C-alpha cells in the first residue's frame, strides 16, 4: 500500500518528449510551429490536467486554456525547458481556476486558429494510461486540497524533483516538502483498505462467517475484486471557432 500511496507514478508516460531547449551559445531562437507544440505536448498536458481536475470535462477545458496561453505567450517565451514551462502554466491555471470557483473562460483566438489546432488522437500509451489509472488512487487524489494534489501529482505522477516543483509553483522548497508529505499522508489513509493486512482481513472474515452458517453455500465469493479502471476519452484540442467560451458550460 505504501508503494501505491507514495509512488503512484506508474501511470506516468515514460516516453521522452521534446523540450525545445536551445544551445546557450545560440544567437537566436526560432519558435517551434504550433502544430509541433500541440502534437508533441498535448497528450502530456491533458494527462496532467486530468490528474489535477479529476474529470474529463474540466481537463479538456484546462488543456484548451493552457494551449491558448502558450499561443499568446510564445513570442515572449524565454528559451529554456519548454516542458517545465507547460507544467507551470497548467498547474497555475488549475490553481487559479479552483480559487475563482468559476468556469475557465478566455477571449477568442485569431480567425485562422482553428485550422492550426489539430485534433489529438490518443496514442496507445495514452489510451492505456487513461483506462488503467487506478480508480481508487484518482478518487483519493480528487479529495486532496488543490495545493496538496498539485504537489503530489507533479512529484509522483509527472516525476518532477522537489526543486522543479518549487520553481513550477513558485513556493519555497520547504513548502513543497510539506505539501507532498501531507498529501501522501492523506493518500495513505484514503487507500488504507488497499494494504495487504486489510485485504487479508477482507478475505478472512467472510470465510469465517461462512463456516459458522449451517448449510452455507461453499462456493467461493469474490470478496476482493480487481480495482476498477478509469476511462477517459481523447480530448480534441480546438479553438471553438470565434466563440468566447470553450468546452461549453
The model's pLDDT over 28-75, given as tens digits with 9 standing for 90+, comes to 667 778 788 888 899 999 999 999 998 888 999 999 999 999 988 887
Average pLDDT in the chain: 67
Is there a domain that residue 121 lies in? yes
Q: Which pLDDT value is given to residue 51?
A: 92
Model confidence at 177: pLDDT above 60: yes
Model confidence at 181: pLDDT above 60: yes
Range of the domain at 88: 2-15+30-194
Number of domains in the chain: 1
Q: Which pLDDT value is given to residue 220?
A: 30
Q: Which pLDDT value is given to residue 99?
A: 79
Residue with C-alpha cell 470478496?
223
Q: Which grid cell sits at 47?
A: 494527462
76-131: pLDDT as tens digits: 787 778 889 999 999 999 998 887 754 433 333 444 444 444 444 555 555 555 54
CATH number, domain of 46, equals 1.20.140.160
Q: Shortest CA distance to 223 belongs to which of 208, 207, 243?
A: 207
Is there a domain that residue 199 lies in? no
Distances (CA, A) of 95 to 15, 49, 87, 89, 163: 27, 11, 12, 10, 19
Is there a domain that residue 215 lies in? no
Is there a domain that residue 132 lies in? yes
- Residue 234 CA to residue 249 CA, distance in Å, equals 19
Contacts of residue 227, defined as CB under 8 A and 6 or more positions apart, other chains included, come to 134, 135, 136
Is there a domain that residue 177 lies in? yes
Is there a domain that residue 221 lies in? no
Residue with C-alpha cell 488549475?
94
Is there a domain that residue 228 lies in? no
Is there a domain that residue 161 lies in? yes
Amino acid at each position: 500500500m505504501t508503494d501505491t500511496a507514495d509512488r503512484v507514478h506508474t501511470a506516468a508516460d515514460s516516453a521522452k518528449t521534446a523540450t525545445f531547449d536551445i544551445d546557450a551559445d545560440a544567437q537566436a531562437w526560432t519558435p517551434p510551429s504550433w502544430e509541433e507544440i500541440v502534437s508533441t505536448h498535448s497528450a502530456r498536458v491533458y494527462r496532467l490536467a486530468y490528474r489535477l481536475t479529476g474529470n474529463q470535462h474540466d481537463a479538456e477545458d484546462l488543456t484548451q486554456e493552457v494551449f491558448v496561453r502558450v499561443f499568446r505567450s510564445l513570442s515572449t517565451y524565454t528559451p529554456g525547458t519548454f516542458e517545465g514551462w507547460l507544467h507551470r502554466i497548467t498547474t497555475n491555471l488549475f490553481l487559479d481556476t479552483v480559487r475563482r470557483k468559476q468556469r475557465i473562460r478566455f477571449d477568442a483566438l485569431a480567425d485562422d486558429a482553428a485550422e492550426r489546432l489539430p485534433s489529438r488522437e490518443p496514442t496507445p500509451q495514452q489510451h492505456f494510461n487513461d483506462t488503467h489509472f487506478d480508480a481508487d488512487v484518482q478518487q483519493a487524489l480528487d479529495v486532496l486540497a488543490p495545493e496538496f494534489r498539485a504537489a503530489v501529482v507533479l512529484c509522483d505522477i509527472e516525476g518532477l524533483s522537489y526543486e522543479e516543483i518549487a520553481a513550477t509553483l513558485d513556493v519555497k522548497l520547504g513548502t513543497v516538502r510539506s505539501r507532498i508529505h501531507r498529501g501522501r499522508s492523506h493518500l495513505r489513509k484514503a487507500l488504507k483498505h488497499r494494504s495487504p493486512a486489510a485485504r487479508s482481513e477482507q478475505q478472512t472474515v467472510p470465510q469465517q462467517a461462512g463456516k459458522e452458517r449451517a448449510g452455507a453455500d461453499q462456493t467461493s465469493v469474490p470478496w476482493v475484486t480487481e480495482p476498477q479502471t478509469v476511462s477517459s476519452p481523447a480530448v480534441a484540442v480546438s479553438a471553438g471557432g470565434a466563440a468566447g467560451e470553450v468546452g461549453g458550460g
